[in-house]
Chains A and B, each alone.
Chain A
Amino acid sequence: MSEGLWDILLLKDASTRTVVSGTALLGLAAGIIGAFAVLRRRSLVGDAIAHASLPGICVAYFVVGDRNFAALLLGALVFGLLGSACIAAIRDYTRIKEDAAIGIVLGSFFGLGIVLSTIIQRQPSGNRAGLDGFLFGKAASMITSDVLTIASVAGFILAIILVFFKEFRLLCFDRQFAAVQGRPVAVMDLLLLALIALCTVAGLPAVGVVLMAALLIIPAAAARFWTENLTLMVALSGGVGVVSAVAGTLASATIAGPANSLSRGLPTGPCIIITASIIFLVSMLLAPQRGMIPDLFRRFSLKRELALQSTLRHALQGAPAPDHRPSLPIDHGIHEAPDQSAPRRETDA
Chain B
Amino acid sequence: MHVLAISANDAWTIATAATCAVACGILGCFLVLRRLSLLGDAISHAILPGLAMAFILTASRDVVPMLLGATVVGVLTAGLSAAIHRWGRIPEDAAMGVVFTSLFAVGVIMMAWMPRSLDLDPGCVLYGVLESTSLDTVHIAGIELPRAFTSLLVTLLLAAGFVTLCYKELKLTSFDPALASALGYSVALIHYTFISLVAATAVVSFEAVGSILVIVMLIAPGATAHLLTDRLGRMILLAAGLATLSSVSGYLLAIYLDTSASGMISVVSGAQFALAVFAAPRHGIISKAITRAALSSRIAREDILGMLYRWNERKEVDPAAAPLAGGDIALALRRPIAARMAMRRLAREGLLVSDAAGVHLTRSGIERARGIVRSHRLWETFLANHLGLPLDHLHEPSHRVEHFITREMQSELTTLAPDTDPHGKNIPPHHPAG
Chain A proximity mask over B298-312: 1 for CB below 8 Å, otherwise 0: 000000000000000
A221 part of interface (Cβ distance < 8 Å): yes
**A-B pairs with beta carbons under 8 Å apart, 30 shown:** A44-B93, A103-B37, A103-B41, A104-B216, A107-B216, A110-B212, A111-B267, A115-B264, A122-B258, A135-B123, A136-B122, A211-B105, A213-B101, A214-B101, A214-B104, A217-B97, A217-B101, A218-B101, A224-B90, A257-B112, A260-B117, A261-B115, A262-B114, A266-B113, A269-B108, A270-B105, A270-B109, A277-B98, A290-B88, A290-B89
Q: Which residues of A contact B283 (CB under 8 A)?
A: 94-95
Q: Which of B91, B101, B216, B285 contacts A93 (CB 8 A)?
A: B285
B106 interfacial by beta-carbon distance below 8 Å: yes
Q: Is the CB of B41 within 8 A of A102?
A: yes
List B residues 33-92 near A (Cβ within 8 Å).
35-38, 40-41, 45, 84, 87-91
- Whether the Cβ atoms of B109 and A44 lie closer than 8 Å is no
Q: Given A44-B38, A110-B266, A263-B112, decide whether A273 and B88 contact each other with a Cβ distance below 8 A.
A: no
Contact between chains at B97 and A43 (CB < 8 Å): yes
Complex alpha-carbon distance, A114 and B250, angstroms: 13
Known: A108-B273, A114-B263, A280-B98. A103 touches B218 (CB 8 A): yes
Known A-B contacts: A44-B97, A108-B273. Give 4 more (CB < 8 A): A43-B93, A210-B104, A214-B104, A284-B87
Task: Count how many chain A residues have C-beta atoms less than 8 Å from C-beta atoms of the other chain.
Answer: 67
A111 pairs with B212, CB closer than 8 A: yes
Q: Mark A213-226, 1 if CB is under 8 A from B, else 0.
A: 11001101100110
CA distance A29 to B273 in the complex (A): 35
Q: A103-B38, A217-B101 are in contact. Are A266 and B226 (CB under 8 A)?
A: no
Question: Considering only CB atoms, which chain B residue lies closest to A97 in the complex?
Answer: B35
Majority DSSP secondary structure for residues of B touching A:
helix
Chain B hits for A119, CB < 8 A: 257-259
Chain A proximity of B100: nearest CB distance (Å): 9
Residue B244, interface by CB 8 Å: no
Given known contacts A44-B97, A262-B114, is B263 in contact with A103 (CB within 8 Å)?
no
Q: Please, which residues of chain B bring their CB within 8 A of the CB of A295?
A: 87
A132 and B123 contact, Cβ closer than 8 Å, known pairs A114-B262, A217-B97, A262-B112: yes
- Closest chain-A Cβ to B29's Cβ sits at a distance in Å of 11
Say yes or no: is A335 at the interface (Cβ < 8 Å to chain B). no
Query: A97, A115, A132, A284: which contacts B88 (Cβ < 8 A)?
Result: A284
Instruction: List the A side residues contacting B204 at CB < 8 Å.
Output: none
Q: Is A346 positioned at the interface, with any CB of B under 8 Å from its CB?
A: yes
Bound CA–CA A114/B271 (angstroms): 16
Contacts of B212 in A (CB 8 A): 51, 106-107, 110-111, 114
Are A214 and B102 in contact (CB-based, < 8 A)? yes
Cβ contacts under 8 Å, B105 to chain A: 211, 214, 269-271, 273-274, 277
C-alpha gap A348/B17 in the complex (Å): 39
Q: Among A113, A118, A210, A260, which residue has its beta carbon within 8 angstroms of that of B116?
A: A260
Residues of A within 8 A of B270 (CB): 104-105, 107-109, 111-112
Interface residues of A in 226-282 (CB under 8 A from B): 257-258, 260-263, 266-267, 269-271, 273-274, 277, 280
Cross-chain contact A43 with B285 (CB below 8 angstroms): no
User: Which residues in window 192-231 of B have CB below 8 A to A?
Assistant: 212-213, 215-216, 218-220, 222-223, 226-227
Residues of B close to A211: CB separation below 8 A: 101, 104-105
**In the assembled complex, A30 has its CB within 8 A of some CB on chain B:** no
Tell me whether A90 is interfacial, beta carbon within 8 Å.
yes
Interface residue ranges, A against B (CB under 8 Å): 38, 41, 43-44, 47, 51, 90, 93-97, 99-115, 118-119, 122, 132, 135-136, 210-211, 213-214, 217-218, 220-221, 224-225, 257-258, 260-263, 266-267, 269-271, 273-274, 277, 280, 284, 290, 292, 295, 342, 344, 346
Assembly CA distance A103 to B224 (angstroms): 13
Flag B245-277 by CB within 8 Å of A: 1 or 0 each: 000000000100111101111110111010001
Select from chain B the residue with minimum beta-carbon distance to A248.
B105
By a CB distance below 8 angstroms, the chain B residues around A262 are 111-112, 114, 116
Closest to B31 in A: A100
- Tell me the smallest distance from the CB of B43 to a CB of chain A, in Å: 11
Q: Kindly identify which residue among B36, B101, B216 contacts A108, using a CB–CB cutoff of 8 Å.
A: B216
The answer to whether B95 has its CB under 8 Å from any CB of chain A is yes
The docked-state distance in angstroms from the alpha carbon of A217 to that of B257 is 38
Q: Does B156 contact A (CB under 8 A)?
A: no
A108→B102 contact, CB < 8 A = no
Contacting residues, chain A, for B26 (C-beta < 8 A): none
- Residue of B98, B218, B227 ringed by the most chain A CB atoms within 10 A: B98
